[in-house]
Amino acid sequence: MSKIKVALGSDHAGYALKETLKQHLIVRGFEPVDVGTMSTDSCDYPAIAKDLCKTVLDENIHGVLVCGTGIGMSMAANRHEGIRAAVCANAFQCEMTRKHNDCNVLCVGERVTGVGAALSILDIFLDTEFEGGRHQRRVDLIELD
């Protein structure tokens, strides 16, 4: 049986947390698809977000982006049609964005989210299903024309 893939990406400010999240995915039995960055050397977050979004859309998988706050990555990711990225700093935000918004890219900030919280948020992101129904109609309304 093949493992479920999850795309991961970060800029230099999110590199350490991305690596921690990657190891957590492996322990949980997922297959991380790391689109970069591969070090703490300064890099441009929009390029990483673009690569991750392409992977998410091409492979029909979920993705996780990490930067200093999560905000820059979410702004860059949401420029791509079919991507519904959300910055989540707590479990409730993550649960609701999966259930109600069908979020397919989780954005987390290494400088504002502790490791324990980030791991919990990631678990919720992976384990929570979209509810559909009236929420699908609303998600359809936010798609780009």
Task: Please tell me whether 101 is known to bind a ligand.
Answer: yes
Domain at 85, CATH number = 3.40.1400.10
Range of the domain at 105: 5-142
From the candidates 53, 67, 103, 107, give the one annotated as an active-site residue. 67
The whole-chain average pLDDT of the chain stands at 97
Predicted local confidence at residue 1, as pLDDT:
54
pLDDT at 4 over 90: yes
Whether 100 is catalytic is yes
**The total number of structural domains that make up the chain:** 1
Spatial separation of the C-alpha atoms in residues 108 and 31, rounded to whole Å? 19
**Token code pair at residue 23:** 């190891």
Least confident of 14-23, 43-52, 133-142: 133-142
| Mean pLDDT confidence for 42-59 | 99
| Mean pLDDT confidence for 41-56 | 99
pTM: 0.96
Exposed e or buried b per residue across 121-143, where buried means at least 16 C-beta atoms within 10 angstroms of its C-beta:
bbebbbebebeeeeeeeebeeee
With a pLDDT cut of 70, the percent of the chain lying above it is 98
